Amino acid sequence: MAPMYPPLESDLLRIFVAVAEAENVTHAADRLSRTQSAVSMQVRKLEDSVGMALFERGPRGVTLTAEGKRLLPYARRIVGLVDETTAAMRMAPLDGPVRIGIPEEYNQTILPNAVAAFAEIHPGIEVTVLCGYTSQQLAALESDQLDLAVIFDWCDGIAGEFLALDPTVWVASSTHDRHLERPVPVAVYWRSSWCRDFALRSLERHAVAYRIAYTCDTSGGLRSAVTSGLTIAPLSRSNIPPGARELTIADGFPPIDSSRVVLKRNPRRGGPAIDGMVDMLLKAFAPLAGQAFG
């Protein structure tokens, strides 16, 4: 029968993470505002709880053992969840409506989780979402139909809070060779000035003959045209679907734009609920903002 160990305490895991990151008990103790002896005792208590050594002691500090390395990502997640829970419980409840516009490119990835989490933390807030193009979002802001809008800025001409850089590129199926055809079949948005001024013009500037083989009103439609092998299409780099790949200069296709993702506010609206949603969106886009797009 396997030995029975007591449940791990979150405070012990917090101390473990601090020592692992500092690689020194004294430095970790300073960071935690505790004595070195108290931190050492808690580390030993954690090691007793798991039944194995988590650190190797040396003259200049400590290093993780193999078991310590295995525990570290779990400990970080638990400590982060405890901190998030504490912050949520201490947060003053908010109420009121928040109307937010989002691009379709993110309606199945980044934003649903952020908006759903925000609504769960603040059940008194009525969240309304408009999913649409940048031009639609800007018009809705102007007509006071939105409080916030996540939009694409292609020319550094839209004032707002920077969220991420997400370039638009030509994308093709990984298992078809449509990009080798001339004229190359392309999918574009129906009656879109952006497709005309950026996507199609990028082909014209590089003398790539093309024909419009598919038109639609959604990025989901463009992704379907690509994955089915029907056409190539302009998509945000973060939105390339499984079974597809970016076409690069090596393939004869240039980048289309270097879109900045911007959060734009309605200047006529404000308040704690809207500020809270802004904070949630900044956190939601942080992983994308940290990626290196070449």
DSSP assignment of the chain equals -PPP-PPPPHHHHHHHHHHHHHTSHHHHHHHHT--HHHHHHHHHHHHHHHTS--EEEETTEEEE-HHHHHHHHHHHHHHHHHHHHHHHHHSPP--EEEEEEE-GGGTTTHHHHHHHHHHHH-TTEEEEEEE--HHHHHHHHHTT--SEEEEEESSS-S-SEEEEE--EEEEEETT--GGGSSSEEEEEETT-HHIIIIIHHHHHHTT--EEEEEEESSHHHHHHHHHTTS-BEEEEGGGPPTTEEE--GGGT----B-PEEEEEE-TT--SHHHHHHHHHHHHHHHHHHTS---
Tokens of 260: 């900045």
Q: Are residues 21 and 79 in the same domain?
A: yes
Q: Are residues 106 and 120 in the same domain?
A: yes
Task: Kindly compute the dihedral angle of the four CA atoms of residues 212, 151, 113, 199, in this order, to the nearest 10 degrees.
Answer: 20
Which CATH number do you get for residue 54? 1.10.10.10
> Cα separation of 71 and 13, whole Å?
9
Whether residue 4 is predicted with pLDDT greater than 70 in this model: the reply is no
In a domain, 247, yes or no: yes
Q: What is the pLDDT of residue 95?
A: 65
Q: Are residues 159 and 177 in the same domain?
A: no
* pLDDT one-digit tens code per residue, 106-153: 877 777 777 877 877 788 888 888 988 888 888 999 999 999 999 988
Q: Are residues 27 and 46 in the same domain?
A: yes
CA nearest neighbour of 226 among 152, 167, 182, 169: 169
> Cα separation of 121 and 280, whole Å?
11
pTM above 0.75, yes or no: no
Q: Considering its fold, how many domains does the chain have in total?
A: 3
Q: Are residues 145 and 272 in the same domain?
A: yes
In a domain, 1, yes or no: no
Q: In which domain, by residue range, is 58 found? A: 10-89
Q: Are residues 174 and 36 in the same domain?
A: no
Residue pair 199/234 in contact by the 8 Å Cβ criterion:
yes
Q: What is the pLDDT of residue 259?
A: 82
Task: Say which residue, 82 or 192, is predicted with more confidence.
Answer: 82
* Region label for 161, one of left (φ > 0), alpha (ψ between -120 and 50) or beta (otherwise): beta
**pLDDT-based confidence at residue 94 (cuts at 50, 70, 90):** low
Q: Are residues 65 and 127 in the same domain?
A: no
Q: Are residues 244 and 273 in the same domain?
A: no
In a domain, 4, yes or no: no
> Cα separation of 172 and 246, whole Å?
7
In a domain, 14, yes or no: yes
Q: What is the pLDDT of residue 294?
A: 43
Whether residue 96 is predicted with pLDDT greater than 50 in this model: the reply is yes
In a domain, 73, yes or no: yes
Q: Are residues 176 and 151 in the same domain?
A: no
In a domain, 2, yes or no: no
Q: What is the pLDDT of residue 293?
A: 45
**pLDDT-based confidence at residue 292 (cuts at 50, 70, 90):** very low
**pLDDT-based confidence at residue 93 (cuts at 50, 70, 90):** low
* pLDDT one-digit tens code per residue, 252-262: 999 898 888 99
Q: Are residues 272 and 140 in the same domain?
A: yes
For the chain, what is the mean pLDDT?
87
Q: Are residues 271 and 155 in the same domain?
A: yes
- Scan for tokens 């199609």, then name that residue: 200
Q: What is the pLDDT of residue 1?
A: 47
CA dihedral for 102, 106, 112, 117, sign (positive or negative): negative
Q: What is the pLDDT of residue 91?
A: 62
* pLDDT one-digit tens code per residue, 157-182: 677 899 988 999 999 999 999 999 99
Mean pLDDT of 178-195: 91
Tokens of 147: 């409080």
Which CATH number do you get for residue 203? 3.40.190.10
* pLDDT one-digit tens code per residue, 201-250: 999 999 999 999 999 988 889 999 999 999 999 999 988 999 999 999 99
Q: Are residues 72 and 128 in the same domain?
A: no
* pLDDT one-digit tens code per residue, 42-73: 999 999 989 999 999 888 889 999 999 999 99
- Scan for tokens 């208590």, then name that residue: 45
